[in-house]
Structure 1
Amino acid sequence: MLSFKRWLERVLLVLMATMLIAMVCLMLWQVTTRYLLGVPALYTEETLRFLMIWMALTGAAYCFGTNRHLALDLIPSLLPEKAGRVLYLINSVVVLVFAGFVLLLGGWKASLSALTQMSPIMQIPMGYAYSILPISAVIIFILQILNVFLIMTGRLRLPYAKSGAGEL
């Protein structure tokens, strides 16, 4: 399971790096066409916006997988390890409920309802841009369940453990 988790995290990193490189290339193309050729490439702004949305939600999934998301760890770091595991389990249930109901169900509904709405410049269905919501929800769900299993079995340390976070 740990190897699958690492593989999935690496895939997310490669996707984010690819999107970032594409964004830089598109920005350079936009500047080149606007200031050197005098005719701006209109599709770049919209593509950059879509890539930014996809990169942010892919990054959120990666952060949940690596336990590097924004967290207040003052109270958990003061607790003994057993109580910290219980608190982590409660926190994980909240994350799973959020990922399941808000991101997955809400994102699925938003994606389906936006399939008839076209983007202004490229004329592609907006549902494609919103489809990252349920996709990231599934990835967050999988990674969070893996994290809970690995932490409860002692194969992964708590993110706020006193002896240091990370894998054993």
Structure 2
Amino acid sequence: MSVVKKIGKVIGGVEEWVAMISFIAMVVVTIAIVLCRYVFKIEFMQGEEIARYLMIWCGYSGAAYCFRTHGHVGVVVFSEMLPASWHPCIKKIRNIFTAVIVIGVFFFACMCFNKYLSSAQLTTATRIPIAFIFIVIPISMALSVIHTITDVICDFMPNRKEPKEVTE
């Protein structure tokens, strides 16, 4: 299982970098849009489109990263009402349920991506293939599937260490 965790760590590093770089690029492009509009009095329509697509890349790569680090918001009110001895079982059920949902979203994202790919549609202002913009969705969902399945496998491994979850 240590090989899977190492691969997950490398993938997580890539996810983190893609999210950070796309976020920084989005901020820079947005500042450029504001400067062009209010300082130079010119429209920068391509910038608005680029910022929108960078936000998509940032959001989906960040979502996949959060699956690895357990950074997504979770509702624990129900599980906290039950005895502490039930918590490991509830966690296993939650991870299995999450894996099933993410697998379903992955297949739906692949179907949507195939439609974009077959349409050969281009974006309006920048003329970038729409498939290039939305390929991040099935990729991030595939990575999320890997992370959630790793969690499920770790749940059923004997003598496993509890992953650190964000509680803030």
The answer to whether the superposition gives a TM-score over 0.5 is: yes
User: 115, 119, 140: which one pairs with 2:123?
Assistant: 119
Measure the CA separation in 2 of the matches of 1:38 and 1:86. 57
Which residue number corresponds to residue 151 of structure 1?
155
Q: Which runs of 5+ in 2 are unaligned?
A: none
Measure the CA separation in 2 of the matches of 1:64 and 1:10. 13
Which residue number corresponds to residue 83 of structure 1?
89
Residues 85, 158 of structure 1: 8 Å contact kept: no
Opposite residue 115 of structure 2, the aligned amino acid is A
Deviation at 1:89, TM superposition (A): 4.2
Alpha-carbon deviations, 1:106-136, whole Å to 9, x = none? 33323324x4222111112212112112111
Q: How does 1:28-43 map to 2 (within 5 A)?
A: 28-43=31-46
Which residue number corresponds to residue 162 of structure 1?
none
Secondary structure of the residue aligned to 1:49 is helix
Q: How does 1:62-141 map to 2 (within 5 A)?
A: 62-77=65-80, 78=82, 80-103=86-109, 105-113=110-118, 115-141=119-145
Secondary structure of the residue aligned to 1:120 is coil
| Farther off after superposition, 33-42 or 140-149 | 33-42
Which residue number corresponds to residue 27 of structure 1?
30
RMSD between aligned alpha carbons? 2.3
Alpha-carbon deviations, 1:126-167, whole Å to 9, x = none? 1211211211121111111122222322434267xxxxx47x
Opposite residue 119 of structure 1, the aligned amino acid is T
Opposite residue 60 of structure 1, the aligned amino acid is A
Alpha-carbon deviations, 1:77-103, whole Å to 9, x = none? 435244224413431342343233223
**Number of residue pairs matched?**
159
Measure the CA separation in 2 of the matches of 1:39 and 1:100. 41
**CA 1:116/1:43 → structure 2, altered by over 3 Å: closer, same or farther?**
same
Measure the CA separation in 1 of the matches of 2:96 and 2:154. 15
Measure the CA separation in 2 of the matches of 1:90 and 1:111. 30
Residues 110, 130 of structure 1: 8 Å contact kept: no
Sequence identity percentage: 25
Deviation at 1:32, TM superposition (A): 1.8
Opposite residue 102 of structure 1, the aligned amino acid is F
Secondary structure of the residue aligned to 2:146 is helix
Q: Which runs of 5+ in 1 are unaligned?
A: 160-164
Measure the CA separation in 1 of the matches of 2:52 and 2:130. 12
Opposite residue 29 of structure 1, the aligned amino acid is A
